[in-house]
Structure 1
Amino acid sequence: MRLMRAGVWLALGLQLGCGVGGGLGSRDLDGDGHPAELDCDDANPTVWRSVTGYEDTDGDGFGEGTPSVACVGSTTKGRTSQGGDCAPLDATRWRSVSGLYPDADGDGATGKGPVTGCVGDTLAGYREQPAAPDCDDGDAAVSALSEAWADTDGDGVGAGAAIAWCPSRGRSPPKGYVLTSGDCAPGDTRSWQQLPFTHRDADGDGFAVEQRGTVCAGEHLPAGYDTVSDPQDCDDSNANRTVRVERWLDPDGDGYGDGASVQRCAGPGESAPGETFRGGDCAPGDGTRWQNLYYASRDGDGDGRLSPATGQVCSGFWLPQGYSQEVRNDDCDDGNSALFRAWSVYADADGDGVGLGEATSICGAATVPTGYSMQATDCAPQDASRWRLLGFYYRDADGDTYTVAQNGALCGGVALPAGYSTQRLSGEDCDDTNAAAFRSMTAWADTDGDGVGAGASTVLCTNGQLPSPWSASGTDCDAQDATRWQNLSADQVDRDGDGFTAPIPAQTFCTGKTLPAPYASKAVGNDCDDADVDRHEWAYFYRDQDGDGVGATPRQMTCLGPEVPAGWSRYGDDADDGNAAVQTDETAEEELSLILDL
């Protein structure tokens, strides 16, 4: 379009500059070929014609302002006949289009419209239809408005009515506003959320009452609120009163009361004057005694030793002299200060230090009386060398160091006698009556004496070796033939004895060390005729009719031995098998030679 308009201006200029008043007598001061009367500037040879149009600063073919007359030459550069350029300094835009919606950042969201936009070939920066509102048409990453709440106390949680703001280019909300709402204490930076609680300690004494609700707090519940139960508070309005306690009147001031108790709400250990938190005073009028203490022993004869006796005595902090809470038996005769120790002893007739019989109780001095012992386990009361039962678990009656399991006990002294033990010695004895027999062995009868037995097994008690005619193996396949004792398998046979075998179905033979002839367990060759000793190998042969040692096709497979039979050859490339003088094809060899030379 722009080129077409430039061509029109050029043609018009040529018409104006040529063929009008161009007589021989005309003046042309600037020598541009145009007479002065037709030259709009005869002092400048580059311009000579006047045109009317608009200034086109950006060169897009559309001018600006009002039309004016200009003196130009062969071109109209910088001038145009088209006016109305809405963007005189932007060559990409020149026309105004109404009914558009702004989208300067190209994010698909539009600004307020409709508006009239200055565009070029496309509607870049505008859309024909409205889309979602764009709060910042200069930032493609942001279009929708966000909400923010006033945070007056600066704790990061706002409150009140939300304001709308456009979060373009990663900007934070306006100063004093945050993205989180719900501050339950807008003026307190320490509290911003409602937290539930189940127990309340209003007086701060560490004792709580059950109470459920919510409280405005920070990260954690404030002091005095909890979700875990503390000790129960009987008065949550007074920190000095926490628990319900029992109290008794204490007229003698010894800390122990008398009579019925009363319930009071008080602090730990708190008591009113004339009261105490303990009852049961056994001597209400005596401040030195207030409790009945149990005793398990007492000193009746005043010798400083106690004997068992139970009861109670009214006392102070401790039992009085001559009483004890321990069960003590220091005095076997609490009516005689000379006798104090009770002995339970047994008669020791042989003087080995161990007695026997019924226990005898003696109240006496500090040592065991002569002729008595504290033990009653003497198994031989008339023999001083034996006095205790010794247990044994194994018996070796024949003295071969092999034992049998046997539990029992013997009356002895320091150690068990020979033949008795608490642990197994060399091994388990299969016959403890015979020192030459001690080990059990499984055996089979070896009737033919080939070293391998047969039949049912039996167990023999031996000296570690089986006697003849017994064997430790029971696999003899022929118990009556000493030359055969094991089953061997064969799957090869050499019936003609040429040293080459042929396969057969597997067979089992009862034999000695090796398989009987002609059977074998491993193949030797592959005998093609096991009935002929002279033939054992399959081979290809060619008929040699002229007897020159080289045959000709066709070949055939034949079962033969190592020698080639007459009239046959292992080679089959005779070019003329009817002429013994000719064996090769000269033409074929020449062709082959040429191929090889190449």
Structure 2
Amino acid sequence: MMRAWAWLALGLQLGCGGGVGSRDLDGDGHPAELDCDDANPTVWRSVTGWADTDGDGFGDTAWPVTCVGDTTQGWVQEAGDCAPGDATRWRSVPGLHPDADGDGATGPGPVTACVGAMLAGYQEQPGAPDCDDGDAKVSALSVVWADPDGDGVGAGIPIDWCPSRGRPPPSGYALTEGDCAPGDTGRWRMLPFTYRDADGDGFAVAMEGTVCSGEQPPPGYDTVSAPEDCDDRNAHRTVRVERWLDPDGDGYGDGAPVLRCVGPGESAPGDTFQGGDCAPGDGTRWRPLYYASRDEDGDGRFSRSAGAVCSGFWLPQGYSSAERDDDCDDKDAARFFAWSVYADEDGDRVGSGAAATVCAGTAVPTGYSTQATDCAPQDATAWRMLGFTYRDADGDTYTVAQGGELCAGTTLPAGYGTQRLSGEDCDDTNATAFRNVTAYADTDGDGVGAGASTVLCTNGKVPAPWSDRGTDCATEDATRWQELVARHADHDGDGVTAPISAQRICAGQALPAPYFLKAVGNDCDDADADRYRWTYLYRDQDGDGVGATPREMMCLGSAVHAGWSMYGDDSDDNDATVQTDEAAEEELSLILDL
């Protein structure tokens, strides 16, 4: 024992200058001088590597690895991972062109991007310029025109516009050009006309051209003939009549007649008529005048009724020399216009059936309409066909693509639309089922399925007895469902593990006994619970508690075997009374006196 203390004192004096043998503080079987971390039994060998947190085979330069055990997982010897948290990307590639939506058109580039084996979201060569790299349906720029009056037709110099995600043109712009009146919402397109009534007197002249219009040509322009106007600049001059010059003013003209442009019942100084007096006792009438139409009811509208009447210079009120036949009932002043109408049975202002002619005033009579497009004559809420492209029969806001037309009112009824709602419906007959999910049979009810996958139409969640995972390694045992890796085992149950070859064990939340992922000590004999640690011992032949060299590495438990000792400085191992070397004692005294 004194010899042991002498060596300990010598070690303290010289300051870690050596010892009696190699140490193994963590008991992992690797001497301290060869163990890169002698305080951790799970690691012992020095390496140069980097942490590989995403398992893509490339390490994170921010996390170097220098000391490991027998595992090769979780670290690699190659660094440079540009996306340490994403196993699909690890390398930086310059000169790429972005194509996030995969439509072949590319965004601004080239750029340097972090990618994996495939250039997902990028292309090596530039494609056509993409105005919206987030929408695969749109890439090329379109143009729109300024529409300050909001009538849906623009004009002027177009601007570029990216029509992505189905959005409408910017506010104040339109997809259609050609607005002939950009500041007037009632006019936007050029329509042809063949007759002109510039003075608004109801008489027109033949004239062809185009005029800036809305749905119909503006007042004064028409494609339907009207009575010919002899002076379209003066509303009081409409009809050409024959007149004779009367230089002496006796009321009788002479010579060839001339055509004069006058208004109804109008004459001019010097005008006279040939022939005898048809009313000798009436100074206001003396000659017969022929008329082509008559207004018997005084509503201002004439019906064709040719004849002659005794008059003076002009036809009396209620007669006209123009052939006008637009009064459909010349006996009733409230009715004068022949409307071409269709029966409106449900009162929605849209008719149907065969056309009919009804004599009325300025408005379409009740129960009739000038439109014949009512698709539901008995339903006032529906009168026109509207197209739809999506159907939601069960009302769950998820739709199926289905096109057609439907008789409706101002809008399509519920369940029909022209836009996709929440998403594609996998069962449009059931409001609780609208999304396809992939599921696996979970026969033991542990939440993890197995076998071939199947597709279920659900509310978005996988119902029991199914699971969204198909990795159950024990389909009939609810306590086990996943494979865990075991690298250590405690077969003898002494609480100390020994390394084993990596095994995949079907388990539950944790590995079952006797398996472990991480080491617990370093069992030197995993078949004997009484032996679990390596220790250097010296043979003690005289049984005095101190042995002598040479030492041996032995596998034992908490106690030292009989005939052996942890100490090896017995100067005479055959004599139990002798343990100390006097020369060593003297040597120690000299050292301590220094």
TM-score for the superposition, normalised by structure 1: 0.41
For the pair shown, the structure with the greater C-alpha radius of gyration is 1
Specify which structure has the bigger relative contact order, considering alpha-carbon pairs within 8 angstroms and separated by 6 or more residues.
Answer: 2
